[in-house]
Structure 1
Amino acid sequence: MILSFIMVSVILPKVVYAQYLLTRIASPLVLMYLFKTKSMKVSSTYLYIVSACIIVLAASCKKSFLEVEPKGFVIAGTADDYGRLLTNASLLNISANPQVILGDDIIAIKSYFDAATTREQRLFRWEDEVYEAEENAPELDGLMTNIYLYNKIINEVMNAEGPEAQKKSLRAEALTGRAWTLFLLINFYGKPYNPATATHDAGFPLVNTADVSLTSFSRASVQEVYDQILGDLETAINDLPAKLSVRLRMSRPLGKALLGKVYLFMQQPEKALPLLNSAFDDLAQSAISVKLYNYNQTFATGGAFLPIATLGGPAIPTHAVNEENIFSRQFSNTYGYFVNTFVMSPAVSKLFKPGDLRLKFYSTKAYPSGNLPAGAYRRIGPLLTQVGFVLPDLYLLRAECFARNGELSKATDDLLTLRKNRMPATEAAIPADTSADKIKLLSFIMEERQREFAVQGYRWFDMRRLSVDPLLANTQSAHQLMTADGIVSASYSLKPERLVLRFPRKVMAQNPGMNNNP
């Protein structure tokens, strides 16, 4: 029963395994080692004793816990063992989903919203306090568990048995995974990157060791967090697998794509563009197929995405074989599907042309029956939203870099490549006055991002960076609560302070030395 709490394929080494198991069971926050809890304000000696007791109870009372190898599990000691740590469900399926509700591409339907959880209602209203005094934040739990695992591999794999090249590659994958996870966390809890203020804007605590006995934490600045993300990726890239062969695992094209995305979020498109170009070059050499699906074919009679299920939507491939997936990370997106609470706003649906086949993923009806406000669309599937790194995002990021760098024709080419795979060619064209004007083209790219990723959480991250964008910073975000017949029951405006989440009160009470967001 104890061992059922462990979701990794390979157990961590010896004493560290005891620490790991203890945190999986005993930590009320399930934040591994980042935030201390009152139940863990103990000496390291006591911590080891409790850990030993857990192991003994779980496996054998006849052996020292240093010798225990739980039945059915392997103590990580070889490079292959550490490699298996990178292929497990806890890394693939992340618990972070508030970005869907925080995005301004949705409205809420009052009759369903009234029955939503308190957390969901507060997120939608962009309230200061989302959680009750003793409540945990799910967007912290799983991500910090994953950072713990990445740190274990980073700090230990080079001492494991196995070929040096393999160990370097595994360490590079863990560095890339840590960077990806930290990038997500800083976009929840740190201010949007602003070159003028990043050095003193509060970011997120940086912990690079896997030690549950740590008890003192402070928030690094936004600049320091981004510096670590850059450092992890730059260190990793040359040792990552050169070819993409397994979508669940990190690769060199992913490392370059992610580094380019980070630079773009740092308002440095001139540094981002060469990396994104190189990522495309590397993807062309992939060991598995990586390409855009042509919706004109997949939704044609007998197409691969048919039939379209009432519950689940088009029959798209799962993450491991989805050819648009560069890096598999996903979350369960029940906002849509069979839940009618949050749906695409009429303002966003107006951005679609009638023949845009991306609308096949949405319905104008509530589930299982009933009406939605005119222009509102419920996302019907798939249930799992891909957020690791997908090919459409790579095209749109590069198009944005081209546009920001003044290469408008190349930006237009990338946009057309995506759009021709999403709608009939007759509707894919970009207006001439738009493709010839930098600001109009950038605005069009941002609208294209909404068309491609509506109700999938991507909009939140774009809202944040656009708030400090010197060219597109005048965007105002609002949420509307509507009745089924389209009457606006309430409207909520996003204030600048809520472009970041506040740490839960429980975390702050247990870490009095750490400052919260305003």
Structure 2
Amino acid sequence: MMRNIIRNWTACIGMVVTLAACDDYLDITPKGKALLKSTEDYLGLIEDRSPEYDMMNSWILAGEASWYKAEELKSYTNPLNSVAYFWDESYDRAGDMIENAAYNACYDRITKFNVVVDGIASSEGKEEDKRMGEAQARVLRAYNYFFLINTFARPYDPATAYQTHGIIVREKMFESLEDVGIQQSVGYTYDFIQRDIEAAIPDLPHKATNSFRPDKTFGYAFKAKVHLFRREFEQCIEACDSALAEAARAGHELWDMTEGYNTFAPMLVAAGYPEMAIDEPQYAGVNDFVENVWKTRIPFEYDAPEQLLYQFGSTYTDPYPMYVPKQVLDLFQKDADLRYRYCIRYKAEHETAPAGDSNFSTLAIKWNPGGMRLSEVYLMLAECYARKGNTADLSKAMGYMETLRACRMVPGRYQPFAPTDAEEALRLVREERKRELFLTCNGFFDLRRFVTEFNETQTRVVEGKTYTLSPASHLLTYPFPLKAMQTSNLIQNSK
């Protein structure tokens, strides 16, 4: 895999990149360009050896994660996690956030993608490789900016996007050390992201070398996601349709989780384990062997056909062994939903965790917390058609939902959804997004966009006490880290 050969080039770039703050991350001297000669040299920068997006704190804030020691949350042992868990607006996050791993990593990757976009055309190699390399660097640069704008700036609102402070956007490499990055608006940043995607799609490969590199299916799926977040629903549908058409050509398809169940359930019955222990979590949870079968014998690999772009969370093992709150676990139909059966322990490993919480407990399933899977395309189509509201479009929305659910649920144990209006249909889609995409970047991003669009106030009950999160809360936007503020002309977006 290409990740194994990019270490030298990462080291070369590291010699001329000062990793201290936003502008420092994006600053490479002309001498650094001279280190890269061949097209293959530039291609080696595209696939990051550790494509990490630190999301633990945002998982907690979005209500998708807790901690295995409840007392540490209550005592603010790790203050930022406790602030997120209790939605504590009184704490000064900006004063406590010296650095931020996701911020650093995204701008570090953007640096390398800028090198590729600016230099690969003049490298020594095949023209088709140059075009592909530039396209992959552009769409990955856009993806990292998308993560940054949806973390460190206010949620996109069409009415105010061009008046709302966003992030520093570098469209090309620095020409000199004196150049200063410009903090653009949220609207400008989205425009730039879309321009990069549009420029990239024609030259993206139909099938990438591996899932750590983007292909054309991912390009269309990501394009759809940006339209969705901008509330451009017709354009989102068009891009999703293109993604599905391209997926068929490239061999991308939904993972049918029922195949594993249909393989192992009869084997366990034949081995003498009663169906009760296999099919009902409260019984399977007391039998370590049965649970071990579901948690270790059914793999979902990095290069599984459903993976469009694989990216890590905080580490390559994420989200294992993250604790998931009871309110999320209760969204699953536990006797039928194979996402629960394969990924969640039936009883918590630590009695010190918040009551009712349990942990994500499989390394066999590569959950893809920071990237995109094909299932997102089906969910985006379901959402866009649900918003239309007429009978025919509601039927289309549920059709996409049932295509996905048929790959996730034990056959015969669940009922198809039958909403009577757009409001109910959208509620069902949102709940399915929470089940399918929990412990990915989508939980936090969805929280931000939905509360902004619908002016919703969230509630959370912890040990009998109710906490609220308003759509205007500054907690929905992460503050820039202090090191970035000290070395850039940034206006702080949160506190």
Same fold (TM over 0.5): yes
Secondary structure of the residue aligned to 1:426 is: coil
CA shift at 1:420, angstroms?
A: 1.1
* 1-structure distance, mates of 2:354, 2:294: 18
Q: Which residue is 2:197 aligned to? A: 233
Match of 1:302 in 2: 264
Contact 2:26 2:173 in 1 (8 A): no
CA RMSD of aligned residues (A): 3.4
Give yes or no for the alignment of 1:328 onto 2:327. no
Offset, 1:474:
4.6
Structure 1 partner of 2:47: 87
Q: Provide the TM-score with structure 1 as the length reference.
A: 0.78
Residues in 2 aligned to 1:216 and 1:393: alpha-carbon distance in whole angstroms? 37
Partner of 2:451: 467
The Cα of 1:423 is off from its aligned counterpart by: 1.0
Tell me if structure 2 keeps the 8 A contact 1:110–1:489. no
Q: Does 1:417 align with 2:403?
A: yes
Q: 2:429 aligns with which of 429, 442, 445?
A: 445
Gaps of 5+ in 1: 1-5, 37-43, 52-64, 68-74, 482-486
TM-score, length-normalised on structure 2? 0.82
Give the percent of matched residue pairs that are identical in Structure 1 and Structure 2: 23
* Distance in 2, Cα, partners of 1:311 & 1:461: 33
What is the correspondence of 1:257-272 to structure 2 with a 5 Å cutoff? 257-272=221-236
> Which residue of structure 1 lines up, in the alignment, with residue 479 of structure 2?
502
Alpha-carbon deviations, 1:57-93, whole Å to 9, x = none? xxxxxxxx999xxxxxxx4311122112223313x33
Structure 1 contact 131–137 (Cα < 8 Å) conserved: no
Give aligned pairs, total. 458
Taking the TM superposition and a 5 Å limit, the aligned residue runs for 1:5-404 are: 8-11=6-9, 20-23=14-17, 27-29=19-21, 31=22, 33-34=24-25, 75-90=35-50, 92-107=51-66, 110-113=70-73, 114=75, 116-126=77-87, 127=89, 129-130=92-93, 132=95, 135-211=98-174, 213-214=177-178, 216-244=180-208, 246-286=210-250, 289-302=251-264, 313-317=295-299, 319-332=301-314, 337-338=320-321, 342-346=323-327, 349-352=330-333, 354-360=335-341, 361-367=343-349, 373-374=355-356, 376-382=357-363, 385-386=367-368, 387-404=370-387
Using the alignment, how far apart are the partners of 1:440 and 1:208 within structure 2? 42
Q: Judging changes above 3 Å, is the alpha-carbon distance between structure 1 residues 252 and 347 closer, same or farther for their aligned structure 2 residues?
A: closer
Counterpart amino acid of residue 335 in structure 2: P
| Residue 488 (structure 1) shift | 3.7
Q: Shift of residue 476 of structure 1?
A: 2.4
Query: 1:439 deviation in Å?
Result: 1.5
Q: Is the 8 A contact 2:388 2:422 kept in 1?
A: no
> Is the contact made by 1:137 and 1:504 (CA closer than 8 Å) also made in structure 2?
yes
Offset at residue 415 of structure 1 (A): 0.5
> Aligned runs of 1:479-498 on 2, under 5 Å?
479-481=460-462, 487-488=463-464, 491=467, 493-494=469-470, 495-498=472-475
State the shift of 1:10 in Å. 4.7
- Alignment partner for residue 515 of structure 1, among 485, 491, 495? 491
In structure 2, stretches of 5+ residues that fail to align are 269-288
Instruction: Give per-residue Cα distances to partners, 1:150-176, cap 9 Å, x unaligned.
Output: 000000000001122221111011000
Q: Distance in 2 between matches of 1:354 and 1:460?
A: 27
Residues 318-370 of structure 1, C-alpha deviations (whole Å, 9 max, x = no match): 6432222011112146786445xx42233651453532122111124222567
CA distance in 2, matches of 1:505, 1:256: 36
| Deviations 1:290-314, CA, capped at 9 Å, x for gaps | 222222221334389x987769934
Assess if the C-alpha contact under 8 Å between 2:154 and 2:493 holds in 1. Answer: no
Partners of 1:335 and 1:247 lie apart in 2 by 17
Deviates more, 1:225-234 or 1:423-432: 423-432
Indicate the SS of the match to 1:401.
Answer: helix
Q: Which amino acid aligns with 1:254?
A: F
Structure that is richer in helix per residue = 2
Call closer, same or farther: CA 1:265–1:479 in 2, change over 3 Å: same
Aligned to 2:284: none
Alpha-carbon offset, residue 467 of structure 1:
1.8
